[in-house]
Structure formats: C-alpha cells, structure tokens
Amino acid sequence: MIKKCLIAIAVVALLATTVQAATYPAIKNEGWPWTKIYDSLPICTFPVVLEVGHYVQIWKCNELKMKLEQVDCAAIDKAGKFPCYGDVDEALDLHGPACVTIQARANFPAVFGATFSASGTDIIGANYSLTWPSGNSILGGGSWESLKLCMTAWSVALWNSEQLGTLNVGTITLNVKPPNEYGP
C-alpha cells in the first residue's frame, strides 16, 4: 500500500511539473516577450517642455563702427554750429548724417534704442543726435531684418583733443525691448 501511494504521489508530482511547463511558455520559448534575450518594451511616454524667453541677435555687432567726418553744418540742419560732423559721400558730394546698417533678428516684435557715451576727452559733449531714419523696430519673426542708425554732431569741441587723426570719441550702446502693447 505504501508503495502504491509513493508511485501515485510521484505520478501526480510529474503531472504537476508538466502542467507548469505548459502554463509558462517561456520555458518552451514561444510567445513570451522575454525569451532568450531581454528586449526593452515601451511602457510610458511623456512630453518634454522648453522654457523660451525673448531672443535678440545682432549680426556681427562687434564689427560695427560709425565714422564721423566733418560736413557742412547746413547739410545737417545745424547752420552756424561749426564744426559739424556726419558723413560725406565723395562720389555724390553729399553731406549728411553718418549711418550704420544693423542686421537684427528676434523671436518677438522688437523696438530698438541707442545711447552715446563719450570716452576719454569729451569732444562731442551733448551736441549730437542719434536717429533711426527707417524706423527702429523689427517684426521679430526670426528672419534677419535691417535697421539704420545715424548720428550727427555739431559744435564739436576739437580743442579738447591733444591728438590728431582718427580718434575714438565714444561708444554707442544698442538696447531693445518689446513694444508697449506686447506683453503684460
């Protein structure tokens, strides 16, 4: 009787192992995603966000330079305020403001401004004008846009200089902001 019970237990144990192998197909290498090698499975996706602020770029700003030359004071509407400075077009014999073309781009509508700061000996003083003849704003769609900044100076104090030739008399600083109707 004991022998028959042991044989019956052995047969039942053997059947349980067989059923277990049939339940888990990985043992048989079919249908289960992790068979012989482990492959990654996508289980979750989520967005990536980027904080974007206002962006402005001036093309080759460090290479911009404005050169003032002596001009006829009447040509810049400062008759009697000698000596006057602006730009002279030799080919056309025209006198007018000295101008520089600025290439700018931004990701927002941008309004530009400019200030002049004297360096070293104050030769120009407060007798200067900075103007934007074609406007001082860009649309800001990310494409390069042109701006023109011009300067004239009158009643220049040449006697304040101990040097002759081309002098660095100051720097122009560009500034930018969104228009008033843009933003909060």
- How far, in whole angstroms, is CA 171 from its chain's centroid? 22
pLDDT (tens digit per residue) in 12-62: 555 554 444 445 444 555 566 555 677 788 999 999 999 998 899 999 999
Residues 29 and 60 in one domain: no
Q: Output the pTM of the full model.
A: 0.72
Cα–Cα distance, 73 to 79 (Å, whole number)? 5
Q: Within a domain: residue 28? A: yes
pLDDT (tens digit per residue) in 84-110: 999 988 776 678 999 999 999 999 999
Contact predicate 112/137, CB 8 Å: yes
What is the residue type of 173?
T
Boundary-marking domain end, from 10, 27, 46: 46
Q: Could you list the residue range(s) of the whole structural domain that residue 4 is in?
A: 1-46
Q: Within a domain: residue 31? A: yes
The structural domain count of the chain equals: 2
